[in-house]
Structure 1
């Protein structure tokens, strides 16, 4: 595969580029807590975006749990993240970038008709990279619950 240099307009987000692997934990009032393994791939494209792909598996059984794909953007210096999930949920985020820390708040959460039962209404993602460690948390409001932490993970660049 041909190596692509990041577009200059995406420069402040290049600290995210890489393949990241690690473990996380999921909690929410309506489910049993669970541990998972995760791989995230963030790579540049010729345009001013970074492609994002994520997949998780159950920590004990290796059974696939979740996947999502999207794009990081930086129009006018404002970080944005657009994500599509195979469950029929689409998230659009905007936020702030402070050094190597992103705080992204959903501006839109869209649901396909078959995803309506998830009733996700709000998502907040915080991502921070220190050296070769990426830590993130994801909070969500869904199924009648207020915005609260759902996922936390620590991944290492490989």
Structure 2
């Protein structure tokens, strides 16, 4: 995707545009056995001041589906303020808000609101914190922290992606 196709408001995060594939994805959490995953992230602009977002994770060996997310990463035009609306396939929708540091090429987001389906299974997610940083022009790092009703905010996911 060329930068001409990206809405001008997205200039501070234009580096995020495109398809990213994991080189390494690792997960951990207090009640889970450490795990690895393969993931594809896509940030696509369709002409509006936002990216359409998709994430699809698979088991690295069996390639069976693990987790999916769909949403929108919006920027408040003329600012570095961001809102990330994400629907997760386990029945949760999160609204994370934060900002981008244009010099560091780093996005920081934290939960502003959560909505869960009535029959979601425990433990229930209470909070996310996410850091997305560009390490090199074609290398992206994502860290996700999660809090549940039984665990304080803790590192859950860490991945390194290469632009596809």
Which TM-score band applies after superposition, normalised by the shorter structure? over 0.9
Q: What 5-or-longer segments of structure 2 have no aligned partner? A: none
Match of 2:10 in 1: 10
- Is 2:48 the partner of 1:29? no
- Is 2:139 the partner of 1:151? no
- Is 2:146 the partner of 1:140? yes
Greater share of strand residues, 1 or 2? 2
Q: How far 1:12 moved relative to its partner?
A: 1.1
Q: Which moved more, 1:32-41 or 1:107-116?
A: 107-116
Match of 2:62 in 1: 61
Q: How far 1:85 moved relative to its partner?
A: 1.0
Q: How far 1:143 moved relative to its partner?
A: 4.0
- Please give the root-mean-square deviation of Cα atoms over the aligned residues, in Å: 1.3
Q: Which runs of 4+ in 1 moved over 4 A?
A: none
TM-score by length of 1: 0.93
Q: How far 1:116 moved relative to its partner?
A: 5.2
Q: Secondary structure at the match of 2:29?
A: coil
Equivalenced residues, count = 155
- Is 2:87 the partner of 1:84? yes
Deviations 1:85-139 (A, max 9, x none): 1211011011121121001011012111122524100000100012100101000
Q: How far 1:75 moved relative to its partner?
A: 1.2
Greater share of helix residues, 1 or 2? 1
Match of 1:47 in 2: 48
